[in-house]
């Protein structure tokens, strides 16, 4: 465990795999009648409480300074509440594998935002990678979900928005990381902030009425909470060890898990152009990652 905690590549694989597991679990929850708001709430509340308990048992105390509270709220919105709502809303229409492909765009978008915020300087290889990745993303978007079941452009746009918010969160978490803060502390605080936002939204929109549906899928809910709590503990550690660009590559692993589980266990199938677009996106991301290494 100690080796895993200090190895960037091990953290990358474990975090990406756990993130990818969220895709089929979310689709199964939607099929069981759990609203996207409520499933997102379960993830944030469950992960936040488990992580807070673990942090407290270690003798930790949740930071409540203005800097900590700002960090919790911004990360909650950018990294959890908004992308999870978009993802779980679009997934029944696009498929778990298709949404997984969207995760592969996160490294490229993270680099775009890093350049825009002057966190990173642009270079020719990085710009070329962004262009290639964008063309691949357009090709994926054109196929509009599962083969023979094209979704509306609105759902496709919603799916494409997921990596945009995740990328903004990647950059922000490094940029505004509170000095001396523990990764598990930040994971717990930001998830509890996300749960508060989602609970308020569920009450306002009336989707809180589907909370009892969680009781119909107890095993699914338990697996989701445990995997989410584990993922976010590793997630924040990876952020500290590898930085935003490296961390964003968990999208590769998540996409693989989403595609494999969607195809083998959920009966999903995708057009050959979807796979071609995914390959082009990966080529673009490889170029931007190489540019980051050179920088």
| 140 within some domain | yes
Query: Is residue 6 situated within a structural domain?
Result: no
Alpha-carbon distance 93 to 139, whole Å?
18
What confidence category does residue 2 fall into, taking pLDDT thresholds of 50, 70 and 90? low
What is the pLDDT at residue 34?
94
Q: Rounded to whole angstroms, what are the CA distances from 191 to 36, 43, 169, 182, 269?
A: 16, 8, 13, 14, 33
Q: In this structure, is residue 161 part of a structural domain?
A: yes
What whole-number distance in Å separates Cα of residue 34 and Cα of residue 26? Answer: 9
- The mean pLDDT of 110-135, rounded to a whole number, is 79
Q: What whole-number distance in Å separates Cα of residue 82 and Cα of residue 193?
A: 12
Residue 252 falls in which region: left (phi positive, over 0), alpha (psi -120 to 50) or beta: alpha
Kindly report the CA angle at 101 between 120 and 279, in degrees rounded to 5? 80
Q: Who wins on pLDDT, 188 or 4?
A: 188
Could you tell me if residue 9 is inside a domain? no
Give the total residue count for the chain. 295
Distance CA 128, CA 237 (A): 30
Domain presence at residue 179: yes
Is the pLDDT at 37 greater than 90? The verdict is: yes
Domain that holds residue 73: 19-294
- Integer Cα distance of 149 and 98 in angstroms: 12
Task: Give 175-229 pLDDT, tens digit per residue.
Answer: 898 988 888 899 899 999 999 999 999 999 999 998 999 999 999 999 999 998 8
Residue with tokens 């993270």: 110
pLDDT confidence of residue 162: 93
CB–CB of 22/162 below 8 Å? no
Residue at 132 is within a domain: yes
Between 220 and 173, the higher pLDDT residue? 220
Task: Examine residue 8 and state whether it is found in any structural domain, yes or no.
Answer: no
User: What per-residue confidence (pLDDT) applies to 36?
Assistant: 95
- What is the pLDDT, as a whole number, of residue 6? 67
Domain count, the chain: 1
* Structural element, H or E, at residue 6: helix 2-6
Whole-number pLDDT of residue 293? 67
Q: Among 90-99, 147-156, 178-187, 246-255, name the one with the lowest average pLDDT.
A: 246-255
Asked if residues 133 and 108 have their Cβ atoms less than 8 Å apart, the reply is: yes
Contact 190, 71 (CB under 8 A): yes
Global model pTM greater than 0.75: yes
Identify which of 213, 279, 287 has the alpha carbon closest to the alpha carbon of residue 252.
279
pLDDT digit string, tens, across residues 44-83: 999 999 989 989 998 989 999 999 999 999 999 999 999 9
Residue 7 within any structural domain of the chain: no
Q: Residues 275-292: what's their mean pLDDT?
A: 80
């Amino acid at each position: 465990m100690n080796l895993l905690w200090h190895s960037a590549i091990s953290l990358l694989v474990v975090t990406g795999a756990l993130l990818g597991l969220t895709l089929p679990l979310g689709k199964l929850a939607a099929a069981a009648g759990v609203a996207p708001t409520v499933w997102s709430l379960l993830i944030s509340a469950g992960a936040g409480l488990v992580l807070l308990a673990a942090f407290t048992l270690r003798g930790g105390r949740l930071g409540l300074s203005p800097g900590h509270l700002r960090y919790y709220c911004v990360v909650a919105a950018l990294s959890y509440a908004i992308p999870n709502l978009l993802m779980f809303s679009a997934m029944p229409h696009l498929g778990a594998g298709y949404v997984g492909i969207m995760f592969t765009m996160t490294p490229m978008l993270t680099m775009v935002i890093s350049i825009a915020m002057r966190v990173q300087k642009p270079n020719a290889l990085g710009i070329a990678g962004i262009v290639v990745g964008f063309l691949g993303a357009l090709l994926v978007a054109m196929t509009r979900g599962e083969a023979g079941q094209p979704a509306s452009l609105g759902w496709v746009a919603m799916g494409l928005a997921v990596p945009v918010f995740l990328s903004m969160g990647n950059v922000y978490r490094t940029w505004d990381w509170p000095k001396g803060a523990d990764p598990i502390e930040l994971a717990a605080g930001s998830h509890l902030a996300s749960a508060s936002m989602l609970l308020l939204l569920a009450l306002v929109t009336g989707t809180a009425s589907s909370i009892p549906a969680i009781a119909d899928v107890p095993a699914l809910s338990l697996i989701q909470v445990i995997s989410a709590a584990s993922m976010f503990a590793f997630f924040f550690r990876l952020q500290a060890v590898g930085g935003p660009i490296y961390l964003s590559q968990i999208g590769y692993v998540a996409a693989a898990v989403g595609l494999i589980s969607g195809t083998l266990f959920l009966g999903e199938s995708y057009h050959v152009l979807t796979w071609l677009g995914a390959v082009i996106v990966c080529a673009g991301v490889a170029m931007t990652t190489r540019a980051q290494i050179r920088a």
